[in-house]
A = this chain, B = another copy of it.
């Protein structure tokens, strides 16, 4: 499914397009997002890059990606910070990440339910909706 060659090119392209120099940590973190194909908690990223990069670098890289609109953060009620890749057509500020995210409360993994689209609910008058986010917590296949 994931082709290393194309992904590597893709990573370069994303960084260049956003006028960011192509560095090890940026490539690695971006790679994680592309591979996970979904939302990542900061903790996940730290764990998976833990030995290679400094904690601070991860913070700063994510911050940079946020500012450039490469990723966006997903608010959750339990206050865990989630980040997800923006789609290509997600130009600055305009994010369309309209599938449901599942967080396993056992193993902590976040899974993108790409097939489950977020239902659009009716809002009371006056509110102008821009983006719908839905996060489901529970047990995943492995942990149930």
Q: Mark A residues whose CB is within 8 Å of B.
A: 72-79, 81, 97, 100-103, 105, 113, 115-116, 118-119, 121-124, 126-141, 144
The answer to whether A135 and B136 touch (CB under 8 A), given A75-B77, A75-B103, A121-B116, is no
Min C-beta distance of A52 to chain B, whole Å: 25
The answer to whether A133 and B100 touch (CB under 8 A), given A119-B119, A122-B116, A138-B127, is no
Interchain CB contact (< 8 A) of A77 among B72, B123, B136: B72
The answer to whether A132 and B133 touch (CB under 8 A), given A77-B72, A124-B113, is no
Chain B contacts of A126 at CB under 8 A?
140-141, 144
